[in-house]
Chains A and B, each alone.
Chain A
């Protein structure tokens, strides 16, 4: 046994969030302070401090959940700890000032399950988040880790496993939503080539801006992924597996390494697993961070040590993948779902979700939203529920404008579609896609042309350059969008975008190029008038495109309210502001470089932008 635990049970377990977001907010310092204070009061035999993976409510980190009782503490700092330990853990009086108070309410909500952010979530892939120390395999085992694997290895034939996965309706969580059971069946039926076995790959090359689903699963519960892979290996007859994970995810890599070595020590991966004669081992391959390596053929090339570039399909990896052998490749979240389906059955899993999309989906909810974080929701939930009930709405009372789903490959869904139920089909019909689960919320201050330009600049940079439609097409689209944002766009530009985008979609080699036009197409579809205002009126309605802005000073407010405070003039980098203290100020438009500093700095709201 790797570690011996204390003989007596603890009466309290303090679950400190140690996901990347909380860690970067110094949650390890908080953990250390807790341990120190607990020792100081002689409570170390009674109170256990546990570092868990991401709890999900990243906006409020560092987080601490006290069990039993499910008491939720948030935004902790080291200086809060002595008081917290003395009051709550020594004297038994929970500290309400460290609890979460919803915006516009006065009373804190002490219990995690009463907080709106958590209420509507259904955890399958994230079933162990916040409940286990991901670096201790026993804690995963206590939560039924490797139970489904044991069942699959002893009581099920490969055909039965695949049937269960097929009946569950599970679809790939990495982006395209291909039926998982069908893919497994293809690999199972593929003839072994080169006289060798088959490979299994876990795709953890998460690259969408603002997305952190895979990272959080690997950090919070690496064993769920390992277990899913062993089940998959038995189903398709694979003997070796690779987890491809970005090197920019050091915590995920470390926890996965540790999990693998513990699983190997326990005989849960490697030779003769659980004495069943079935052998399967897993290696970790760290990717260097190219977005295109999330595409399966590029990922395989990268593992083989070649340039991470996609190749035409067919042959699909199921026939000829890693080193030319049949290869089963699924995303991190897909693998994490597998043990639950085997354990609880296809019927249970398919009872959650919609007709075509079963189970749950993990989303990283970011952007202009009150409750930034990681959420897992049943398929079919509406955007409104995600944004308002779970996400707590838009900060500062601003209006919700759009949400970008599916990252740079996805599209913008406008506010009028807020009651759209989320599943693979409805998102595709709306012009976007499920993607891997990024959800970027935008408010009224967002310029949709600028958003399209941002995503195109990302895909242009990440295009591997192998095929012309993607290499040149993204560049041309980006140039056009940049022109429009600078007020130099023409009507012909819109026509060109409209004809170029579908032809790139049709002709690009891989998923990156095929989906890169989506942000342009959806913003054109839903926000065409914004493009037209940029082109015809040379104005940016959201005042984001600076070159189209005109800054002026309301002389009345400047003089009567601000008494000509002169702060703007002193901070103007281009000497464009005239005036002195106690006089009204004004801006010389010829000198103004439209940096917007005066607007940001004026306390009296005398500076206006149009």
Chain B
């Protein structure tokens, strides 16, 4: 490692920030859930996850949270994701591939416009039943 100059220190900072910005908290613009039950993984959910992570990295997006969950219940339409923009109802997408994922990311997650042709529907099943 050659010794740093001022400019190189700033460069190291920029590079390192890209890897650690997730820890900084702050407002999250959107949450993307990749459904990764056995059915989802078998249908290629892993490639969806990789595509999603690489597009986030290449565009240096810092306010999108990526998570995964189990089977969404519609195994025949996997791989599936759910996109939730802050303050909006979740949207489920079905029959995905990496290219579709990238398009959804650009248009819906970043652009705010639902990609109707890949969407299954808006909203989620009811899960919050009152306790006895």
Contacts and interface: CB of A to CB of B under 8 A. Distances in A.
Interface of A: 1-2, 5, 8-13, 15, 42, 46, 67-70, 90-93, 113, 131-132, 138-139, 141-144, 146-147, 150, 154, 265-268, 272, 274-276
Given A266-B3, A274-B6, A141 B53 contact: no
B22 A142 contact: no
Contact of B5 (A68, A143, A275): A275
Given A46-B49, A138-B15, A68 B6 contact: no
B65 interface: yes
A132 B69 CA distance: 27
A8 B58 CA distance: 9
A46 B36 CA distance: 13
B131 interface: no
B131 to A, nearest CB: 13
Nearest to A111: B25
Contacts of A42: 46
Contacts of B66: 11
A142 B53 contact: no
Given A12-B22, A150-B9, 8 more contacts: A10-B22, A11-B67, A13-B20, A68-B65, A91-B36, A146-B9, A266-B4, A266-B9
A154 B4 CA distance: 14
A90 B9 contact: no
B129 to A, nearest CB: 17
A9 B18 CA distance: 8
Nearest to B36: A90
A10 B57 CA distance: 9
Contact of A68 (B1, B4, B25, B36): B25
A275 B6 CA distance: 8
B69 A67 contact: no
B76 interface: no
A274 B9 contact: yes
A460 B67 CA distance: 58
Interface in B1-25: 1-6, 9, 12-13, 15-20, 22-25
B97 to A, nearest CB: 18
A8 B54 contact: yes
A91 B70 contact: yes
Contacts of A276: 6
The 5 closest A-B pairs by CB, nearest first: A267-B3, A142-B16, A92-B69, A138-B16, A11-B66
Contacts of A266: 1, 3-4, 9, 12
5 contacts: A5-B19, A46-B53, A91-B36, A93-B69, A143-B20
Nearest to B33: A92
Contact of B53 (A8, A139, A154, A265): A8
Most chain A CB within a 10 A radius of its CB, from B5, B49, B57, B67: B67
A9 B16 contact: no
A600 B62 CA distance: 57
B50 A8 contact: yes
Interface in B49-105: 49-50, 53-54, 56-57, 65-70
A141 B13 contact: yes
A571 B8 CA distance: 71
Nearest to B66: A11
B109 to A, nearest CB: 14
Contacts of A141: 9, 12-13, 16
A49 B57 CA distance: 19
Contacts of A11: 22, 49, 53, 66-67
Q: Please classify how large the interface on chain B is, using the bins under 10, 10 to 19, 20 to 34, 35 or more.
A: 35 or more
Nearest to B56: A9
Contacts of B18: 9
B42 interface: no
Contact of A142 (B1, B5, B20, B65): B20
Contacts of B54: 8
Nearest to A2: B1
A9 B53 contact: yes
A112 to B, nearest CB: 9
A138 B33 contact: no
Most chain A CB within a 10 A radius of its CB, from B4, B24, B33: B4
B120 interface: no
A275 B3 contact: yes
A276 B70 CA distance: 55
A13 B69 contact: no
B28 interface: yes
Contacts of A131: 20, 23-24
B53 A267 contact: no
Nearest to A267: B3
Nearest to A65: B23
B16 A67 contact: no
Given A8-B57, A131-B23, A138 B12 contact: yes
A150 B6 contact: yes
A570 B20 CA distance: 61
A146 B1 CA distance: 17
Contacts of A144: 13
Nearest to B61: A9
A154 B54 CA distance: 38
B69 to A, nearest CB: 4
A154 B6 contact: yes
Contact of B16 (A139, A147, A268, A274): A139
B22 A68 contact: yes
Most chain B CB within a 10 A radius of its CB, from A8, A9, A10, A275: A9
A144 B5 CA distance: 16
Contacts of A113: 25
Contact of A67 (B17, B22, B49): B22
A274 B5 contact: yes
A110 B71 CA distance: 24
A575 B19 CA distance: 68
A1 B9 CA distance: 12
Contacts of B65: 68-69
A26 B18 CA distance: 31
Nearest to B26: A68
A236 B13 CA distance: 28
A9 B6 contact: no
Contacts of A69: 65
A12 B36 CA distance: 16
